[in-house]
Amino acid sequence: MMETELITIPKVYSSTYQELQDAANEITARLDAARQAKRDEEEPRDRSDRNYASEIGHPCLKFLVHARLDWKQRKMPDITAEYRLEEGNEREWLVKKKLGDIGFELILSQKYYHLEALRLRGKIDGIIPLPRPVRGYREAPAEIKSINPQWWDGIKSIDDIRNHSKWWFRGYASQLNAYLFAADYPFGYFILDTFGKRPKIIPMERDEELWTHDSARIRQVNEYCERKEYPAPIPYDPGICGMCDFAHICQPLRATEYTEIPASEEEVLKEFLWLREFHEKYEEMKKTLIGDKNKPGRFWGVNAVVGSVVIETKIQQRTTYDVPAEVKAPYAKKQEVVITSIKRIDE
Ligand code: SF4
């Protein structure tokens, strides 16, 4: 009789899916725990006597005063933000490596500078050698910024940074500009990076007007701090106050009544926004591929078959009413319209 060969099924194949998930959750929890342990080791830095160049572009003066007077109460970034910061640092390192590999190694990396008269402190990501002397300079300060892909296409020049709708981009200009004045360079460079794209290198000339504005604000902050007083809060802005590390002690007046929603709903809302991004891409492609009668796209009015794809055009008759405005006017009435939008806090 032939002996039956028994196959031992490894235990993992007989596990329930929940067990697999538990193991995955444990690995994730350990990733978080490693970051948490690092954070616990870090003591908050006493910064009561100085302003930081990376923050001077913040749109709220009260924030800048809190950053000095209440540094101990500053809210730490949550673990999710911790991963984002880590990613930024890793990307910065990668950009430096890419530049170094082709002979443009940044020097004086992370060197602090001080402007004692303003109590301003900052550091520059490095000084980049230039391929040839420019206005007599063989090198220039460079600030590396890792950019969310969402904003990548919209930033092509220093004006796009300087006038960006998001305050932290405008703050980048203030940060580099402060260094150009502190270290007396007439120009510098932004090196922007994002996932899977060629870095963008954007020159910035020293901006007198911006420096006059920023240094006047720093003086105001210094005066408030000396008097241990606070300026008035800005009108509540979810894009600024919603991201503020001092909102818990500032408690800015909210012009709008906010409804309490359980934190568990956040995932549903995030999924909605994720789908919206796809929808926006779909609408963009629809414009270029189909378009309409005023702006026909590549395949407007076409009938064709391409492999498994059919392009079909049907012509229908529709009745339209071209009613003169003076005939419509007596029927006009104002109605309350409720428009609710869901967007990211940093949009
Ligand atoms: S919560 Fe708003 S008003 Fe208060 S400090 Fe922060 S940004 Fe300024």
User: pLDDT tens digit string along 89-148?
Assistant: 899 999 999 999 999 999 888 788 899 999 999 999 999 999 999 999 999 999 999 998
Entry pTM: 0.73
Q: Closest ligand 1 atom to the C-alpha of 66?
A: 5
Q: Closest ligand 1 atom to the C-alpha of 234?
A: 3
Among 41, 25, 115, which Cα is nearest to 76's?
41
Is the CB of 246 within 6 Å of ligand 1?
yes
pLDDT at 79: 84
Burial annotation 31-57 (CB, 10 A radius, 16+ → b, else e): eeeeeeeeeeeeeeeebeebbbbbbbb
Cβ–Cβ < 8 Å for 137, 150: no
pLDDT at 255: 63
Q: Name every residue whose Cβ is closer than 8 Å to that of residue 290 and which is 6 or more positions away in sequence.
A: 297, 299, 300
Among 85, 183, 56, 205, which Cα is nearest to 127's?
183
Q: Closest ligand 1 atom to the C-alpha of 60?
A: 8
Distance from Cα 246 to the centre of ligand 1, integer Å:
7
For residue 274, what are its two tokens?
Answer: 């994720």
Q: Closest ligand 1 atom to the C-alpha of 241?
A: 2
Is the CB of 65 within 6 Å of ligand 1?
no
Distance from Cα 177 to the centre of ligand 1, integer Å:
24
Distance from Cα 59 to the centre of ligand 1, integer Å:
9
Cβ–Cβ < 8 Å for 84, 194: no
Radius of gyration of the chain, Cα coordinates, nearest whole angstrom: 28
Phi, psi of 199 (to 5 degrees): -60, 150
pLDDT at 3: 45
Cross-strand partners of 192: 145, 200
Crossing angle for the helix pair 167-182 and 208-227, to the nearest 10 degrees: 90
Is the CB of 66 within 6 Å of ligand 1?
yes
Which residues of the chain are under the pLDDT cut of 50? 1-4
